[in-house]
Amino acid sequence: IAQKCDRPDGTITMVHSSSMLHFNWGYTQFSQFNTDDTLLLVSGVYLGSNQIKFYFHSSSGEIAVICLENYTLLSCVRNKPYDVFGCWLNETHLVSGNLHWIGNMTSCSVLWLNKAFQVGPIHGHKCYRWGTAMDGALLQTEILLKDKTYLLFTTGSLTYFPHQIGIKRIMPDQMIMSGPVLGEESSTDKFFDSLDHVIGMGLSPDHRYLYVNSRAWLAGWVISDPMSPHPIAEEIDLHAHRAFTPNEECFFIFLDVSRDFVASGAEDKHGYIWDHHHNICLARLQHDVVVNSVAFSPTDLEQLLSASDDSTIKVWHSARPPGTDARPSPAPSPG
């Protein structure tokens, strides 16, 4: 669904809607605009032709690229597992994933660089590969595009639920060259092991801070079987938003970060907004069921959209008078 808000009163109108069921998708789960807002990446769960048989067992996904000028489908790229989601590298290239089991509890994750205008799935270059014991699915990929390019992702070495955050610098030759470099295993530059189930990540606009949504694991629990879900602590209350589902049924909860605020959905039927300078909750945004995603407007940072499983997208406006700076005023200078 594509919608726009171009009226002074903030009214939103739908300009396009497409059903991905025609492409044998179970559901859509993630979307991202490229940097110049000309293309839209949408990823979802791919069921194949036998949808009834694979509905509850599919681990495959697909990424669709849609042109925003005329809302035509430009390409589709297979993506496995589906919770890699995918991301843009630049205006014309996107990253997808593939997972290969190479032994008992050991897998190899491969990232593919794809052209947004390519014809057919998986026509790209291998750009990065790593293998570890019980290498889990990537939850989200983020590209930092300045003088250096880094890949931020989640994975798991103790269990298949993502509980580690990895950071890997991607060198230019890994993105565009073929040959021996593609067959070499790459290690992650930095790991952060939260020992929690990570369900969402978001970067601050200046790329200085990474914000993470997570579900706390039960304290003191020892993982003996990597295929068994880790118990989640009952006292789940992370920075003012609550969650209730067991580990194997966790929702992906996407968050967004602006200059002054952090916003997130939650399983408790609310979206939340925090002031990240003072670590205080500013607002609770009501829905009927779980709120999966929130996003700040890029042109009006005091406007927020929230999307929920209640089949609604709500637009929220700050009660602050127009023209008022969201940040606290500086202290007056002496004298």
**pLDDT, position 270:** 92
Domains of the chain, start order: 1-193 (2.40.128), 221-319 (no CATH)
For residue 331, give the DSSP letter. P
**pLDDT, position 190:** 65
The answer to whether the CB of 27 falls within 8 A of the CB of 42 is no
Q: Where does the chain have alpha helices with state H?
A: 51-54, 172-176
Going from the C-alpha of 121 to that of each of 19, 28, 97, 124, 271, the distances in angstroms are 19, 17, 12, 9, 36
CA R_g for the chain:
21
Is the predicted pLDDT of residue 41 greater than 90, yes or no? yes
- What are the structure tokens assigned to 110, written together? 């491969």
Residues in the chain: 335
Q: What is the pTM of this model?
A: 0.74
Share of the chain above pLDDT 70, in %: 63
- Cβ neighbors of 7 (< 8 A, separation 6 or more) are none
Is the predicted pLDDT of residue 99 greater than 50, yes or no? yes
Max Cα distance, the chain (Å): 77
pLDDT digits (tens, 9 = 90+) for 63-83: 999 999 999 999 998 888 888
Is the predicted pLDDT of residue 201 greater than 90, yes or no? no
**pLDDT, position 169:** 79
Is the predicted pLDDT of residue 330 greater than 60, yes or no? no
pLDDT digits (tens, 9 = 90+) for 150-196: 888 887 777 667 778 888 877 766 655 433 333 345 566 666 666 67
**pLDDT, position 80:** 86
pLDDT digits (tens, 9 = 90+) for 239-265: 545 554 444 445 678 889 999 999 999
